[in-house]
Chain A
Amino acid sequence: MHASVRPAVSVNINPTTVTPSRESAAAAAMRMNINKVNFFYGSKQTLFDISMGVAANKVTALIGPSGCGKSTLLRTFNRMHETVRGAKLDGEILLDGKNILAQDVTQLRRRVGMVFQRPNPFPKSIFDNVAYGLRINGSKLPIADAVEKSLRHAALWDEVKDHLHKSAYELSGGQQQRLCIARGLAVEPEVLLLDEPCSALDPISTAKIEELLVQLKDLCTICIVTHNMQQAARVSDSTAFLLMGQLVEFSPTPHMFTTPSDPRTEAYITGRFG
């Protein structure tokens, strides 16, 4: 039994409530398991006892109002939180059953890629941006083929194939973001994390990326943070709703948006706050 088929699970803020048993979330269909994660910036705690799973080859969405900790949670999945001073993580995050906190961080990030809120192409050519991950990982594959493949997966190939050696900065914002997705895909990650990838983009670029995410499920597992509930509803298979650092509800997406179990979830998705 795993999250995508299980009925809505409500994790109450009340610590006496029993959190759903982790044994039932068997590893088979879960790519990642997050067990009792607590997170601190200095002395300030920003995540409280989060437990959830990220299903393999599905899209998992993290939603919630600004400052609820959804980006923080996402960044722990490939340990990007360690780039910030004073960040401290308690708990366990398993990737294919192994604790990521005990692994080599560069190896981990090759397996768990990330796309950021604002497109952040490197000051290099389009080709070199995609090739970057391959080069630093000493890939033996013919780089040009891998670059083409990644750009095709990111639905960008047709738009850039004639000027691969132009600066990445000459692309539009939406194209830059798809370039960043291609760059992440080039190293063939098992999980791709996206931190509000469309918040800096126009609606047409957003639609293209959403369409892309659904197609990418075959290639890898996707976890996306979004403040846009409609986006979560459109692209994700299961959704986690966070509020003030707590995981309020984690359910299959259709369930979450039609019959939420927690009154706070209902209040949020019907637009009463946030």
Chain B
Amino acid sequence: MTARLRWRKFVSGTMLTLTGVCATVAVSVLFFILGYLVYHGGSSINWNFFTKLPAPVGEIGGGMANAIVGSAKLLLLASLFGVPIGFFGGIYLAEFSNSSVAFVVRYAADLLNGVPSIVIGIFAYALVVLPFKHFSTLAGAFALGVMMIPITLRSTEEFLHAVPRALREGSMALGASRWRTIMSVVVPAAYRGIMTAILLALARVAGETAPLLFTAFGNRYWSPGVSQPTASLPVMIFTYAISPYDDWHRQAWAAGLVLLALILIVNIFARAILSRGGTILR
């Protein structure tokens, strides 16, 4: 074995180890967080956590039922608002627009995606909270919905682009209009990809705290309808974590665990949908 060959083997081995270690670190961060949350929060998760309102300050116990329901309501409303805009905008971008319009929209969507979430919170505050003069579920959902638009739009566009031209032509050659072709052939062909993207967008905004701080605000009781301030899991974690009470700290850990578990479930579910539908391109 020549010195040159030995050196090459050494470099190769070193780089293999280095990249392997970095990959392991990347993976272990997730498991570390998960383990830490289970360790601290697992013991505080009980039936009350899911069914009871927060206990008054100073009392031990209580739960976060209102925050769980509040988060669900926020996400539902945000999807009702953000998903259609992103979806139809993505269709426009992929199917109808000319290249200069597409460039502008795409660029704007990418910029919007990069806007710090706290800024989107301020935006929602100015647009929804100020005119109504109070915090509300609606304002929080608006902020989250705005964040979902660029993600849904860009992924819809990408998945539609991946649908072979031949399918569009096959449909148009039968006398289908462009719109009919898109809705009956192109979107069904890209459907799993788009569903996945929507679920991932949902998972992404589910954990957002900053845009909710001064829109949905928080609430220690049930929030009827959509025009009242509402509790949500991320804001509850924030509030409880910076509080001076040990019992609140434990509940913050528990809430973190529940939130992370929900997001992981959505993620895994989304990937499963995508992998089953991975063969739209034959």
Interface residues of A (CB under 8 A from B): 78, 80, 83, 106-110, 113-114, 116, 118, 120-124, 132-133, 136-137, 169, 180, 183-184, 187
> Do B188 and A184 touch (CB < 8 A)?
no
Most buried by A among B164, B169, B174, B176: B174
**Known A106-B177, A123-B189, A132-B184; contact A116-B172, beta-carbon cutoff 8 A:** no
What chain A residues lie within 8 Å of B171 (beta carbons)? Answer: 122, 132
Q: Which residue of chain B lies nearest to A104 when distances are taken between CB atoms in the complex?
A: B175
Jot down 29 A-B pairs with beta carbons below 8 A, ordered by A.
A78-B173, A80-B172, A83-B172, A106-B175, A106-B176, A107-B175, A108-B175, A109-B172, A109-B173, A109-B174, A110-B174, A113-B174, A114-B173, A116-B173, A120-B166, A122-B170, A122-B188, A123-B280, A124-B188, A132-B174, A132-B185, A136-B174, A136-B175, A136-B176, A136-B180, A136-B184, A169-B279, A183-B170, A187-B174
> Do B175 and A110 touch (CB < 8 A)?
yes
User: Nearest Cβ in chain A — how far from B37, in angstroms?
Assistant: 41
Cβ contact of A116, chosen from B169, B177, B189, cutoff 8 A: B169
Per DSSP, chain B at the interface is: helix
| Given A109-B173, A120-B167, A136-B176, 4 other A-B residues pairs in contact with their CB atoms under 8 A | A120-B169, A122-B188, A123-B167, A183-B170
Task: Assess whether B276 is interfacial by the CB under 8 Å rule.
Answer: no
User: Nearest Cβ in chain A — how far from B95, in angstroms?
Assistant: 11
Interface residues of B (CB under 8 A from A): 164, 166-177, 180, 184-185, 188-189, 279-280, 282
Cβ contact of A113, chosen from B173, B185, B279, cutoff 8 A: B173
Q: Which residue of chain B lies nearest to A124 when distances are taken between CB atoms in the complex?
A: B188
Q: Which residue of chain B lies nearest to A183 when distances are taken between CB atoms in the complex?
A: B174
What chain B residues lie within 8 Å of A132 (beta carbons)? Answer: 171, 174, 176, 184-185
Cβ contact of A80, chosen from B173, B184, B280, cutoff 8 A: B173
Q: Which residue of chain B lies nearest to A135 when distances are taken between CB atoms in the complex?
A: B184
User: Nearest Cβ in chain B — how far from A20, in angstroms?
Assistant: 30
Q: Which residue of chain A lies nearest to B282 when distances are taken between CB atoms in the complex?
A: A169
> Do B188 and A116 touch (CB < 8 A)?
no
User: Nearest Cβ in chain A — how far from B280, in angstroms?
Assistant: 7
What chain A residues lie within 8 Å of B282 (beta carbons)? Answer: 169
Q: Give the docked Cα–Cα distance between A149 and B46 (Å).
A: 63
> Do A133 and B174 touch (CB < 8 A)?
yes
